[in-house]
């Protein structure tokens, strides 16, 4: 199951001040997903949206 959620627009502005804005933007988005959607993981970034999917839990 995948979901598509909007990325806050100010992340672009914050990443622009770095030497490698693309990598910093991806880092911001990954952190955003971890903090706002526990149990979900980043699949891909599509423009100003991030596609996430449920993490698979391993059985012990």
55 confidence band (pLDDT: 50, 70, 90): confident
The residues, ordered by sequence, that sit 6+ positions from 8 with a Cβ below 8 Å of its Cβ are 32
1 confidence band (pLDDT: 50, 70, 90): confident
DSSP 1-60: -EEEEEPPTHHHHHHTTSSSHHHHHHHHHHHHHHHHSTTEEEEEEETTEEEEEEPPPPP-
pLDDT at 49: 96
Q: What is the pLDDT of residues 14-45, one digit of tens each?
A: 889 889 999 999 999 999 999 999 999 999 99
């Amino acid at each position: 199951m995948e979901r598509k959620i909007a990325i806050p627009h100010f992340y672009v502005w914050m990443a622009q001040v770095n030497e490698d804005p693309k990598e910093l933007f991806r880092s911001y988005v990954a952190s955003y997903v971890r903090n706002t959607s526990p149990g979900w993981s980043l699949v891909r970034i599509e423009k100003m949206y991030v596609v996430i999917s449920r993490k698979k839990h391993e059985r012990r």
